[in-house]
Chains A and B, each alone.
Chain A
């Protein structure tokens, strides 16, 4: 078989454009659907929202360009101010889910008969729909018949109307939100604890670390990835707080439990809401707040990648 035909030398020039650029093009081909959808369903609506926020528009008739007027009005809108403060309260107090989840996880991270049942019982609220959580808590808080006032009555404290009191209502809703969120953080930490290196604990023991010191210097640093994810989902959860508010108070009493997303919905999309431009302006402010966190998340993920 010495006369076997040689490999055709002309093959290189005959390769198609795709073959020549395969390495450069293929990743983009794979990314294309995602990029397309992201551009169409995320980037474009963001642009549209920003554009609409400069208009006075009822969603039906002609839009009228008003420049920054919607934003100027926001500065002077006490309901907007209340919503903004409530958003900050949510961001701050919702983070309690992280230490809460950590401590329940530490508590449940042991081998006792039936621990799986206990774990699933603690995880159970996260499986519930937010609507159900909201309903259960609003019954719990009921001014006369509610369980909370029953318990308070036993220790001789007067009845309180948590959801009817403008100063307490937001905290009441956040507490309801913490219930499932703590469960979520717990499950993240439980998986994190599985990955804790027993040798490091052993080494710590030898060096005399125990209790809080062990937790703080040995365990928690190793849980950093879990903490990061818990932080991300909790912040996102706080900024998405809409269903609980809608179910438990409908923004009331007199608008004192509204957050920006709820206020935007009321102004633009609800039964009496006909101010698309104003609603869009609120959405833009909410977006800017989110952007701070998004930037931080992206930055820390990028730093992580680079560190490898």
Chain B
């Protein structure tokens, strides 16, 4: 639908080229399961699949879209019982349970093909477990601080570059009767974003990954240092009150109404904020400020992925579909502002001309020397993440409970990583 015939042909040319000897037209079946249940991503995906179908008219494609939240629990059933040929999921540690249970197909051979090896190199690490690749990415997006430009201008504030500036800005905002940051921690993961950034800025990407891999204890003094920085913000009253009652969507009205000046979020927050009436003159973006001097800046940039279940019955068709998805033109198309509104994974693609996408792309490609993390609940093993995020929420409400929380997390850590 959204693809023109021209891009179609280019995509066709691209995919057949990288497929090498593979014949252009596929036959048989292809069963695709998607978790892109929100209206815009759903339309994007369905259009993309329709285009793939046009390339292969004899291929019988069957697409199932499952609610994004329900998908997270259903995946283990359909991977074992009634596997599709292609399924969406997330990169990094979120793949681990299915990789170690042998439910995802090893697609290292795809990654050996020059077209993918060269253009997707930046995300290879996130797709790798035990030296093999288990799927391909199709989109990713930056995290950072989205703020009310008009409030900053009214108070004469600039985008902060250091923790000191961040705090002094915050004090000025508090003095004007607003809160600095809105957040809704009812579903816990939003607090994980704050911890990711505070920890990566205080001690760097490598330390954060050591903690994620269980090599550092939660009661370590360095982790406590991260929490001490966080506590400075909490004690100032930087976050909106009663955040434990709100989902992230319910926390957005605070920034829309000007009761809070900023939010730490992924780029997916832009769409609802724009819809609520914050145009580009009111909404702006900055990278999370540096905390410890000399620590290389690292970012969260969660990657969404396609996988081939090990029990799939049409693996060759599935591989051809993955090649199609990651090809430069398709990447440009599906990630543009009218579709997913996120960043393309293929280095040969172009980023849509959108203020936030451009800023995010520049930040990730030029100003993120420390590395790129996936996100708290994707980097940490599922069980550790669940317990830890609950502890983070408790800390944000009762900072005095910190020692108790960390001791508990140590106990969980011992069991999870054994």
Q: Please list the residues of chain A having a beta carbon within 8 angstroms of any beta carbon in chain B.
A: 58-61, 73, 78, 138, 142-144, 161, 163-164, 249-250, 252-255, 266, 269-275
Question: Please, how many angstroms separate the alpha-carbon atoms of A79 and B286 in the complex?
Answer: 39
Does B72 make an interface contact (CB < 8 A)?
Answer: yes
Contacting residues, chain A, for B63 (C-beta < 8 A)? none
Known A-B contacts A58-B101, A143-B242, A144-B242; A253 and B397 likewise in contact (beta carbons under 8 Å): yes
In the bound complex, CA of A270 to CA of B377 (Å): 14
State which of A143, A161, A250, A270 has its C-beta within 8 Å of the C-beta of B73: A270
State in angstroms the CA–CA spacing of A143 and B377 once bound together.
29
Contact in complex: B245, A163 (CB < 8 Å)? yes
A250: chain B residues within 8 A (beta carbon): 186-187
Complex contact A61–B385 (CB within 8 A): no
Question: Given A254-B394, A269-B73, is A60 in contact with B103 using a C-beta cutoff of 8 Å?
Answer: yes
Tell whether, in the assembled complex, residue B242 and residue A254 are in contact, meaning their CB atoms are under 8 Å apart. no
B397 near A254 (CB under 8 angstroms)? yes
Contact at A255–B245, with CB atoms within 8 Å? no
Q: Which residues of B contact A138 (CB under 8 A)?
A: 245
A164 → B minimal CB distance (Å) = 5
Q: Which 6 A-B pairs have the closest CB atoms?
A: A60-B101, A272-B386, A254-B394, A61-B101, A272-B382, A143-B242
From known contacts A60-B103, A250-B186, infer whether A273 and B386 are also in contact, taking CB-CB under 8 Å. yes
With A and B bound together, what is the CA distance between A272 and B241 in angstroms? Answer: 27
Chain B residues near A164 (CB-CB < 8 A)? 242, 244-245, 397
| Residues of A with C-beta under 8 A to B393 | 252-254
Q: Given contacts A58-B97, A253-B397, A274-B382, is CB(A161)–CB(B391) below 8 Å?
A: no
Return 29 A-B CB contacts under 8 Å, by A number.
A58-B101, A59-B76, A60-B76, A60-B80, A60-B103, A73-B415, A78-B408, A138-B245, A143-B241, A143-B242, A164-B244, A164-B245, A250-B186, A252-B186, A252-B188, A252-B244, A253-B244, A253-B393, A253-B394, A254-B391, A254-B393, A255-B390, A271-B69, A271-B382, A271-B386, A272-B383, A272-B385, A273-B382, A274-B382
Beta-carbon nearest neighbor of B77 in chain A: A59
Residues of chain B having any CB pair with chain A under 8 Å:
69, 72-73, 76, 79-80, 97-98, 100-103, 186-188, 241-242, 244-245, 377, 382-383, 385-386, 390-391, 393-394, 397, 408, 415
How many angstroms from the CA of A112 to the CA of B397 in the assembled complex?
52
Given the interface pairs A164-B242, A254-B391, the reply to whether A272 lies near B377 with Cβ below 8 Å is yes
A281 to B397, CA, bound (A): 31
Give CA–CA (A291, B377) in the complex, Å.
38
CB distance from B147 to the nearest CB of A (A): 22
> Is B390 a contact of A161 with CB atoms below 8 Å?
no
The secondary structure that dominates the B interface is helix
Shortest CB-to-CB span from A153 to chain B, Å, is 16
Cα separation A60 to B83 with both chains bound (whole Å): 14
Query: Distance in Å from the Cβ of B101 to the closest Cβ of chain A?
Result: 4
Count chain B CB atoms within 10 A of each CB in A142, A144, A272, A275 and give the residue with the most: A272
| A184 to B188 CA separation, bound complex (whole angstroms) | 35
Q: How far is the CB of B307 from chain A (nearest CB, A)?
A: 14
Select which of A58, A142, A254, A273 is within 8 A of B390 by beta carbon. Answer: A254
Question: When chains A and B are docked, how far (Å) is the Cα of A143 from the Cα of B408?
Answer: 29
Closest to A270 in B: B73
Which residues of the partner chain B approach A163 to less than 8 Å between Cβ atoms? 245
Q: In the complex, what distance in Å separates the CA atom of A164 from the CA atom of B79?
A: 37
Complex Cα distance, B102 from A61, in Å, reads 8
Having A61-B102, A274-B97, one finds 4 other A-B pairs with CB under 8 Å, namely A61-B100, A143-B241, A253-B394, A266-B386
B98 touches A60 (CB 8 A): yes
Report the Cα distance A250→B385, complex, angstroms: 16
Query: Within the assembled complex, what's the spacing in Å between the Cα atoms of A144 and B72?
Result: 33
In the bound complex, CA of A220 to CA of B385 (Å): 53
**What's the Cα separation between A305 and B393 when bound, in Å?**
54
- How far apart sit A250 and B97, CA to CA, in the bound complex (Å)? 24
Give the shortest distance, in Å, between B392 (CB) and chain A (any CB): 9
A271 to B390 Cα, complex, angstroms = 14
Closest to B100 in A: A61
Interface contact B72-A271, CB-CB below 8 Å = yes
Residue of A nearest to B242 (CB): A143
Write out the residue numbers on chain A whose beta carbons fall within 8 Å of the beta carbon of B244: 164, 252-254
Chain A residues with Cβ below 8 Å from B72 are 271
Which of B244, B385, B394 neighbours the largest number of chain A CB atoms within 10 Å of its CB? B244
Cβ distance B374 to chain A, nearest Cβ, rounded Å? 15
For A252, what are the chain B residues with a Cβ–Cβ distance below 8 Å?
186, 188, 244, 390, 393
Beta-carbon contact of A60 and B386 below 8 Å: no
B101 CB contacts on chain A under 8 angstroms: 58, 60-61
Q: In the complex, which residue of chain B has the Cβ closest to the Cβ of A58?
A: B97
Please measure, in the bound complex, the distance between the C-alpha atom of A143 and the C-alpha atom of B101, giving whole angstroms: 45
Nearest CB of chain B from residue A304's CB, rounded to whole Å: 43
- Which of A60, A138, A249 has the most CB atoms of chain B within a 10 A radius of its CB? A60
In angstroms, Cα B383 to Cα A59, docked, is 14
- In the docked arrangement, what's the CA distance between A265 and B222, Å? 34
A254 / chain B contacts, CB cutoff of 8 Å = 244, 390-391, 393-394, 397
Residues of B within 8 A of A274 (CB): 97, 382-383
| Shortest Cβ distance from residue A138 to the other chain B in the assembled complex, whole angstroms | 8
For the complex, what is the distance from the CA of A143 to the CA of B241, rounded to whole Å?
9
Least Cβ distance of A91 to chain B in Å?
Answer: 25
- Among A73, A142, A254, A266, chain B packs the most CB atoms within 10 A around the CB of A254
CB distance from B304 to the nearest CB of A (A): 15
CB-CB < 8 A to A142: which residues of B? Answer: 245
C-alpha gap A20/B58 in the complex (Å)? 65
Contact between A143 and B245, CB atoms less than 8 A apart = yes
Distance A143 CA – B393 CA, assembled complex (angstroms): 17
Q: Among A60, A249, A266, point to the contact of B97 (Cβ < 8 A).
A: A60
Give every chain B residue within 8 A of A58 (Cβ-Cβ).
97, 101
A275 proximity list for chain B (CB < 8 A): 383
B130: shortest Cβ distance to chain A, in Å?
A: 15
